[in-house]
Amino acid sequence: MLPFRKILFPVDYSDPCTAALPYVKELVQHFNAQLSLVHAYGSEALALTDLALIDPALPAAAATAEHERLQKFAAEKFPAIHTETFVGLGEAGEIIHAQISHQQADLVMLPTNGRGPVRKMLLGSVAAKVLHDATAAVWTATPDALSNARGPYKSILCACALDETEDVVVLKAAAWIARSYNARLSILHIVNVVPISGAIDYVALQDSLRDAANIRLRELKAELGIDAPHRIAEGPVASSVRREAERVQADLIITGRGLELGAISRFWSNLYPIVRESPCPVLSF
């Protein structure tokens, strides 16, 4: 998983895509990774050629034109970095997933533009699909987060869910990346109990959960040899992560994707609102 060796950057030529370029270049150079670009195009590309719609040569001509466009983009935006380029006709999420498998990519860098008819209230539909389905780590950021670019990472916040199958992976990844950048590492866990019955003492329950989380984090840090401060916050997850990121001036948030919860729960996990509200990019495992 780490260090990242094969990075996949989906290109849609949008403003968020352009804004993400400095981050992509920095990570590729930091990890000395291979970079692949992929572009998914739709049927509208067929109309951009000079061939008639019934011409059997049309699909090949459109693919050639899109590939040439992507190669030109690579040459202009990554002049000092060797890149491989791939294009495909179809739904962007499916094309990206095919390339993750084909390239055996261990990191996808995909900013979200917030469009998409189904998931637009959460994230852009392509980013949401990749976050939901990808086996690789996913780096993503909103346009607002991308506007706060500050160069190599100096302060990293690990938002740890303390789920049995993820806490070790996420904490180890956060600690490793922080060391590789000589960055400050902070750890956050959020306790959020929503009252559903007046018969339960929720103050005592919150205190109990907070104490248990403190003990678990101390044990994990000792087990993994991590020397970093941790904090237990209370309240809604996304806003709590945002406030802590602002407090520690984080320029990267590292978190899990709720893989142990199953596909349905994953879609409605806290990751989407965390990304949407984050003041900086989010790297999820």
Segment of 114-118, 140-144, 175-179 carrying the highest mean pLDDT: 175-179
Q: Considering only CA atoms, give the Rg of the chain.
A: 21
Q: Which helix (H) or strand (E) holds 211?
A: helix 202-224
- pLDDT, tens only, 92-113: 989 999 999 999 999 999 998 7
Alpha helices in 78-195, H assignment, sequence order: 92-103, 125-133, 143-146, 167-181
Q: Per-residue pLDDT for 201 more than 80?
A: no
Name the β-bridge partners of 239.
Answer: none
CB 259 within 8 A of CB 165: yes
pLDDT tens readout for residues 18-31: 999 999 999 999 99
Amino acid at 104: Q
> What is the CATH T-level fold of the domain 6-144, as seen in this structure?
Rossmann fold (3.40.50)
**Tell me: the pLDDT tens digits for 235-259?**
889 999 999 999 999 999 999 986 5
Reading the block at residue 267, the tokens are 């879609």
Mean pLDDT within 162-173: 83
Report the side by side order of strands in the sheet with 107-109: 83-89, 34-41, 6-10, 107-109, 137-140, 282-284, 252-255, 155-159, 184-191, 230-234
- Range ranked top by mean pLDDT from 55-59, 90-94, 132-136, 202-206: 90-94
Beta strand pairing status for 252-255 and 107-109?
A: unpaired
Is the C-alpha dihedral spanning 82, 16, 14, 1 positive or negative?
positive
Please report the sign of the dihedral spanned by the C-alpha atoms of residue 63, residue 68, residue 73, residue 78. Answer: positive
Mean pLDDT of 33-52: 76
What's the pTM?
A: 0.88
Per-residue burial over 169-187, b = 16 or more CB atoms within 10 Å of its CB, e = otherwise: ebbbbbbbbbeebebbbbb
Tokens coding 87: 């294009």
pLDDT confidence tier of residue 208, bands split at 50, 70 and 90: confident
The pLDDT of 150-171, averaged and rounded, is 85
The confidence score (pLDDT) of residue 194 equals: 59
Where do the domains of the chain lie? 6-144, 155-284
CA nearest neighbour of 103 among 86, 78, 89: 86
Q: What are phi and psi of 225, to 5 degrees?
A: 70, 35
CATH superfamily assigned to domain 155-284: HUPs (3.40.50.620)
Residue 125: the pLDDT is: 75
Q: Which pLDDT tens digit goes with each residue over 65-76?
A: 899 999 999 999
Phi/psi at 146 (nearest 5 deg)?
-65, -25
Q: How confident is the model at residue 126 (pLDDT cuts 50, 70, 90)?
A: confident
In this predicted structure, what is the pLDDT of residue 120?
41
